[in-house]
Structure 1
């Protein structure tokens, strides 16, 4: 009798275990089905996200293209129209001096158009520059030569605080000159309506960083931030007076050189632009250091 009772109890335990096992399998199948559904939903969500990102990128490109087209149309349209007028006037110029003035104006317009295309070419071919050791004092002198006429024409007083010792950085001299030219012309433009027009340039070294500061007593930055100003096509100038590419180009060049460009309002008036670049050990000193090791 005990044997039969044991067999019955054992059979009950087996049936109970089987029921539990079957319930677990049903629960597992349900969980697998839910997991499969969740995976499918996530896959669909990722597909929709990729599609949305692709459409957003396309819309951004179209918006940038539209912005570029409008800006180029304004910037090139004005000098082309002026060139046509000067050419018509030159046809009737009998005086050699008048004809010479017309030709000089045409030359200035052509240089402006070349400058516009050069700025656009920068964005088409970024980062393609050879790096070498350059002296920032020489960079400054090269930039000054190109803006000297603008300073005189606008009646801007320039104060320069630069030492005589070389300040060497690793970079491309012409591209660094472009940065200084852009910053100087930006300051000249900001002084348009000022009486006592002054730009101050300081160049020195602080904590292994070359520091160039260009400040003016113009209208300042207002509420603008550096992030806003370095956006391509961001400009507060009237149409035809700039594409808003100067600071965007300058920022890209500075980053390319491992530095940074900052802007802030002056303590009393105007704006202050600060350019920082890592100082490089001059080649002759670097060679001596290697020989001493």
Structure 2
């Protein structure tokens, strides 16, 4: 072994040994401290990482808290809005409650008033029933009075027609007496067998005259009886002919010309033939009296069909009606005739009869030239079955 390879021997003194031991002890302490520091660093790193996680979680929590805060703000805003709406609804509800109380109070008051009104209505209905019954009774009395008035008018008309009717009956009676006298003479002379045909002819002629007189009397009896309130189908031309038959002798004696223009088609109306005949008798009588001082005396009766009505005009060539009296001619007891020559009921009765038949009567007045009375009556319209 070489001397160079031998370990170097260092001599250490006691102080140095103690110092070395002290350094070694310090080294151990330092190592322990280092180890402790490393452990602390390790733990600190763990705490740091945990803190970072905590901070990250806190950031999340802060974000969630911020979102929740915003949501809470919205909730609070909605709550405030709902609260205000609730307050308004509460106010409205309170107002409604108050209004309902007022309504209930008004309803109560209304019920009280209604009860009073009901009681008053019961009294009114009772009074109305009594009034209605009274009106019906008065209406019935009025109809009876009107029928009596119409009947009185007919009797007055018959009274005026008496003279003419007597002449009308005198002719067939004289003719009958003549024909019967001829037949008696033939029998007395023994000509009954040889002149049987002539005898039969004389007797037939006498029967015809008797039938004519009977027809006139029968018509007078029919016209004179109380008219039925029931309306029936009647031929208007027959009514006009009946009125003319009763007046024809008077009109002939006064040299009054009669012109009748009636359509060939049957004119059917619903009514009372006796009452309508009285209407035409009244109009013809007025026309007759209006032409007393006239040279030209003519009465014209004309019928025209217009849709669902018939229009009958009765015109004369008399003096007409004074203009200041036109509006009064249909008034009861009004007449332009001299005292004792008229009752003033003719046109009033005529107006009432036409109204009762659902028609109308109009006047076309021509002072100094005559008057035209126009009657409008509804035509009978049969219902299909």
Q: TM-score normalised to the size of structure 1?
A: 0.53
Task: Say how many residue pairs are matched.
Answer: 170
Residue 286 (structure 2) aligned to one of 186, 204, 208 = 186
Residue 211 of structure 1 aligns to a residue whose secondary structure is strand
Q: How does 1:24-43 map to 2 (within 5 A)?
A: none
Distance between the aligned counterparts of 1:209 and 1:229, measured in 2? 24
Structure-2 change in CA distance of 1:268 and 1:238 (3 Å)? closer
Matched with 2:250 is 150
Cα deviation 1:239-259 (Å, max 9, x = unaligned): 110111100000000000000
Distance between the aligned counterparts of 2:345 and 2:367, measured in 1? 27
Matched with 1:254 is 354
Name the structure where helix makes up a greater proportion of residues: 2
Q: How does 1:47-196 map to 2 (within 5 A)?
A: 129-196=229-296
Please say if residues 204 and 212 of structure 1, whose CA atoms lie closer than 8 Å, have aligned partners that are also in contact. yes
Structure 1 stretch displaced more, 251-260 or 127-136: 127-136
Large movers: runs of 4+ above 3 Å: 224-227
Matched with 2:330 is 230
Instruction: State the structure with more CA Rg.
Output: 2
Structure-2 change in CA distance of 1:193 and 1:267 (3 Å)? closer
Please say if residues 214 and 274 of structure 1, whose CA atoms lie closer than 8 Å, have aligned partners that are also in contact. yes
Please say if residues 215 and 266 of structure 1, whose CA atoms lie closer than 8 Å, have aligned partners that are also in contact. no
- Does residue 265 (structure 1) correspond to residue 372 (structure 2)? The answer is no
Cα deviation 1:210-235 (Å, max 9, x = unaligned): 11100011000121455411111101
Residue 163 of structure 1 aligns to a residue whose secondary structure is coil
Matched with 1:210 is 310
Distance between the aligned counterparts of 1:226 and 1:175, measured in 2? 24
Matched with 1:239 is 339
Q: CA deviation at 1:165?
A: 1.3
Q: CA deviation at 1:195?
A: 0.3
Unaligned 5+ runs, structure 1: 1-67, 69-74, 80-113
Structure-2 change in CA distance of 1:254 and 1:225 (3 Å)? farther
Cα deviation 1:176-219 (Å, max 9, x = unaligned): 00000100110000001000101111012112111110001100
Distance between the aligned counterparts of 1:191 and 1:231, measured in 2? 22
Structure-2 change in CA distance of 1:276 and 1:221 (3 Å)? same
Residue 270 of structure 2 aligns to a residue whose secondary structure is strand
Matched with 1:279 is 379
Q: Which has the higher contact order (CA 8 A, sep 6+)?
A: 1
Structure-2 change in CA distance of 1:206 and 1:224 (3 Å)? farther
Distance between the aligned counterparts of 1:254 and 1:235, measured in 2? 19
